[in-house]
């Protein structure tokens, strides 16, 4: 009986930490996809002198994020958005964005939350 109680306590402590770790590691997929989509948009701009909101988006390889492109100013600027899907939606960083000027946001913020989320530090066991 004591073993069962101890095991239950260990699981109750370890499972939330493990889930935070998984969400944090999956966030790298969203960041990688945003950076790849930004590079794709830059290549399009070099070829066509315009960005394209129909190119470079879609679901990430493992399906954790949906990347969308929005252009403005007669296709002279863009904002890329990575929206978390499925279990990744529990990530405190929320929606990640990257624009043509390199401005990065997390959950609509550009402050410390964005810095921490984009660097991979947010959501660690110490936070």
How would you write the pLDDT of the chain (127 residues) with one tens digit per residue? 888 888 888 878 877 888 888 888 899 999 999 999 999 999 999 999 999 988 899 999 999 999 999 999 999 999 999 999 998 999 989 999 999 999 999 998 888 989 999 987 665 433 3
Asked whether the beta carbons of 52 and 44 are under 8 A apart, the reply is: yes
What global pTM score does this model have?
Answer: 0.83
Residue 25 resides in a domain: yes
Residue 51 resides in a domain: yes
Number of separate domains in the chain = 1
Residue 124 resides in a domain: no
Residue 125 resides in a domain: no
Q: Edge-to-edge strands of the sheet including 104-106?
A: 58-59, 65-72, 77-84, 96-99, 104-106
Asked whether the beta carbons of 106 and 93 are under 8 A apart, the reply is: yes
Residue 126 resides in a domain: no
The range of the structural domain enclosing residue 8 comes to: 2-119
Q: Please give the radius of gyration of the chain, using alpha carbons only, rounded to the nearest integer.
A: 18
């Amino acid at each position: 009986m004591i073993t069962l109680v101890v095991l239950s306590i260990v699981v109750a402590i370890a499972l939330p930490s493990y889930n935070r770790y998984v969400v944090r590691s999956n966030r790298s997929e969203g960041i990688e996809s945003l950076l790849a989509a930004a590079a794709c948009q830059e290549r399009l701009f070099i070829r066509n002198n315009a960005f394209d909101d129909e190119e470079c988006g879609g679901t990430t390889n493992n399906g954790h994020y949906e990347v969308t492109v929005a252009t403005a100013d007669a296709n002279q600027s863009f904002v890329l958005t990575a929206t978390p899907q499925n279990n990744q939606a529990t990530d405190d960083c929320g929606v990640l964005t990257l624009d043509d000027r390199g401005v990065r946001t997390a959950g609509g913020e550009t402050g410390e939350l964005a810095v921490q989320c984009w660097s991979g530090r947010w959501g660690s066991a110490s936070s």
